[in-house]
Amino acid sequence: MASRVHRKKLNVDLTPAIKKLDVTVKGLLNTKMLGGYKSAFRGRGLEFADYREYSPSEDDASLIDWKASLRTNTLVVKEFVEERNLDVFFLIDCGSGMVFGSTEKLKNEYSAEFAASLAYVILESGDNVGYCLFNNEIRAQSQPLRGKDQFYKFTRDLINPNNYGGRFHIDAALKFIIGTQSIRNSSLVILVSDFIGLKGDWKRYIKSAGKKFDFVGVMVRDPRDQTLPADSYKVSLENPHTGSQMVVDPILIKEQYEKLVREEEKKIREEFLRSGADFLELNTAKSFVEPLVAFFIRRSKRWK
């Protein structure tokens, strides 16, 4: 359970996060050992670029193109470049549970900064960004496109407070992207949510999405989603999905509450990994830049 916080305008400041993330990722992209976004999320394949002279010290002899070598009277090998044109599709939870915060940022504000900052890097890399903002229905959406206009459109929808609130139905959102023809099987799909109050057949849809896409779950939690104060006083808690309320003494339920949260988070994490998807955990009390860059590095190492 969590208390809802209502604001007329979302507290979203993209500039610091984008600058820091952009500089960090560009630094990684220029470092062969680490790679970065482009090495962590590969495009659809490789395309022929040109021939170059064979180097015995650097090339395997099996790479020699003998037909081209006969024509040029020089041993040559083919060079390939990665065919990017990657589609990245964001699924953003806009339900009432995300309109909560005990830190400077509500979960939906933090998620908006995360998604917009990552989208900026993706678009700067020449890839396409699409999105779907959802609660119990689709609030805003766009097919994968590239360019600055797409970034501004995505940002406007993310910071629009009218898109937030209502019940949270992850299975309906996943069913939507699995069934739509505008999202290719080779797409990277990033689902951003706190994953609190999961209901329905969500495990089956996580599994289906993991099979069809390069699928990543990003769990955004507030510190109060995970821990309760070690003080004894009465507080009123409200279920953001049903509106029901109850008065509790945090210190009396703290141990059981935190145990249940750990078990729930473990179950969700394992469900994603079991489905062949990736999983990133973020907390609104800490910057998302460092965990995201570490995530890039872990992904890029798998290709080596």
Same domain for 262 and 185: yes
Same domain for 141 and 78: no
**Residue span of the structural domain in which 226 resides:** 14-29+85-302
Residue 145 lies inside a defined structural domain of this protein: yes
pLDDT digits (tens, 9 = 90+) for 30-46: 333 223 465 566 554 44
pLDDT digits (tens, 9 = 90+) for 57-110: 777 787 788 988 898 889 988 765 555 578 999 999 999 999 999 999 999 999
Q: Cβ–Cβ contacts within 10 Å for residue 236, how many?
A: 10
Residue 95 lies inside a defined structural domain of this protein: yes
Say which amino acid occupies 206.
I
Q: Quote the pLDDT of residue 245.
A: 87
Q: Report how many domains make up the chain.
A: 2
Domain termination site, one of 67, 83, 99 = 83
Same domain for 21 and 127: yes
Same domain for 56 and 20: no
SS (H, E, C) the chain: CCCCCCCCCCCCCHHHHHHHHHHHHHHHHCCCCCCCHHHHCCCCEEEEEEEEECCCCCCCHHHECHHHHHHHCCCEEEEEEEECCCEEEEEEECCHHHCCCCCCCCHHHHHHHHHHHHHHHHHHCCCEEEEEEECCCEEEEEEEECCHHHHHHHHHHHCCHHHCCCCCCHHHHHHHHHHCCCCCCCCEEEEEECCCCCCCCHHHHHHHHHHHCEEEEEEEECHHHHCCCCCCCCEEEECCCCCCEEEECHHHHHHHHHHHHHHHHHHHHHHHHHCCCEEEEEECCCCCHHHHHHHHHHHHHHCC
Residue 94 lies inside a defined structural domain of this protein: yes
Q: Cβ–Cβ contacts within 10 Å for residue 226, how many?
A: 15
Ranges under pLDDT 70 in the chain: 1-9, 13-49, 79-84, 240-241, 301-304
- Cβ atoms of residues 189 and 175 within 8 Å: no
Same domain for 52 and 169: no
Same domain for 186 and 55: no
- Cβ atoms of residues 274 and 9 within 8 Å: no
Q: Quote the pLDDT of residue 290.
A: 86
Same domain for 119 and 54: no
Q: Quote the pLDDT of residue 30.
A: 37
Residue 192 lies inside a defined structural domain of this protein: yes
Q: Quote the pLDDT of residue 237.
A: 75
Residue 229 lies inside a defined structural domain of this protein: yes
Same domain for 136 and 123: yes
- Cβ atoms of residues 152 and 135 within 8 Å: no
Residue 233 lies inside a defined structural domain of this protein: yes
Mean pLDDT of the chain: 82
Residue 61 lies inside a defined structural domain of this protein: yes
Same domain for 98 and 153: yes
Same domain for 199 and 122: yes
Task: Name the token pair of 96.
Answer: 């009432």
Same domain for 179 and 219: yes
Q: Quote the pLDDT of residue 120.
A: 84
Q: Quote the pLDDT of residue 143.
A: 94
Same domain for 201 and 133: yes
Say which amino acid occupies 40.
A
> Which CATH number goes with the domain that contains 259?
3.40.50.410
Residue 4 lies inside a defined structural domain of this protein: no
